[in-house]
């Protein structure tokens, strides 16, 4: 997936907000149809950030969001607390609740944390997948979901399918700690997905990268898994060598 490197290039040598580069869409929120309203509201806010309907640093108001989502203020307030605990929002006295500054620092931290975490996760998950046909079937099903979303060009569905693919791999890692860390970071990654795909039309490359990840999980060595994950997270590098060099630099190897 083309991720934080492309965003960091846009914000290079600047602390300006990434969202200043475009105009937010006027599309309304999707109707919420779930029993867990607070999590659904949090997901909607994250999707809105990724599609630039909510901007970096923007102040959010419980009443306005509750009205737009046709829910009470309670799940909105709870969603704010969830997003604050995950570092997506911040609340300060007399200034209210705001989205964090999605600047170069944020993009770099998200990239570095995700690269390190997913390398460990994919290496662990590979051991499970290679001895479990059911686990491999889940990987295939998630890749098929990404392919289907790409086929119809639904960017929001692509992002959700992409996140579901990576969540499934974390579940296969058989590590409660890795899963907990991923749950804390996943919404930052979802925002990153949205920001990148907002500008990108090469859906075939998204499919190809996930197919490559699936194949590497089955056949790749530990080093090959690390390099493939690095290329996937780093994004639009010109060559495998550049991706591997960046991965080595980020890990100090």
Tell me the percentage of the chain whose pLDDT exceeds 70. 77
pLDDT band at 8 (very low <50, low <70, confident <90, very high): very low
Domains belonging to the chain, first-starting first, are: 17-99 (1.10.10.10), 104-251 (1.20.120.530)
Query: pLDDT tens digits for 27-80?
Result: 456 656 555 899 999 999 999 998 889 999 999 999 999 999 999 999 999 999
Q: In this predicted structure, what is the pLDDT of residue 104?
A: 84
* Torsion sign, CA atoms 195, 197, 198, 200: positive
pLDDT tens column, 150-188: 999 898 899 999 999 999 999 999 999 999 999 999 999
Six-digit token pair at 36?
């867990």
| Predicted local distance difference test score (pLDDT) of residue 195 | 81
Q: What is the pLDDT of residues 197-221, one digit of tens each?
A: 756 677 898 999 999 999 999 999 9
Greater confidence, 140 or 34? Answer: 140
State how far the Cα of 30 lies from the Cα of 23, in Å rounded to an integer: 19
State yes or no: pLDDT of 233 exceeds 70. yes
Best CA proximity match to 48, nearest among 31, 67, 79, 24: 24
Angle at 200 between CA 99 and CA 220, to 5 degrees: 95
């Amino acid at each position: 997936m083309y991720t934080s490197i492309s965003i960091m290039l846009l914000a290079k040598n600047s602390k300006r907000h990434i969202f200043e580069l475009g105009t937010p869409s006027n599309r309304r929120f999707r109707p919420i149809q779930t029993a867990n309203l607070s999590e659904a509201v949090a997901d909607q806010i994250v999707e809105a950030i990724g599609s630039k309907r909510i901007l970096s640093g923007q102040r959010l108001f419980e009443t306005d969001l509750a009205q737009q989502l046709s829910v009470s203020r309670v799940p909105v307030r709870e969603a704010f607390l969830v997003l604050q605990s995950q570092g997506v929002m911040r609340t300060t006295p007399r200034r209210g609740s705001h989205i964090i500054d999605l600047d170069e620092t944020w993009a770099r931290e998200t990239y570095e944390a995700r690269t390190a975490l997913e390398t460990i996760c994919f290496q662990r998950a590979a051991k499970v997948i290679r001895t479990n046909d059911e686990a491999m079937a889940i990987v295939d099903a998630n890749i098929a979901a990404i392919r289907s979303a790409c086929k119809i060009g639904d960017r929001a569905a692509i992002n959700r399918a992409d996140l579901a693919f990576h969540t499934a791999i974390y579940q296969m890692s058989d590590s409660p700690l890795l899963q907990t860390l991923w749950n804390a970071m996943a919404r930052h990654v979802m925002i990153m997905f949205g920001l990148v795909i907002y500008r990108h039309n090469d859906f075939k490359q998204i499919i190809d990268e996930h197919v490559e990840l699936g194949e590497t999980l089955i056949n790749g060595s530990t080093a090959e898994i690390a390099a493939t994950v690095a290329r996937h997270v780093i994004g639009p590098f010109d060559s495998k060598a550049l991706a591997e060099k960046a991965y080595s630099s980020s890990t100090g190897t």
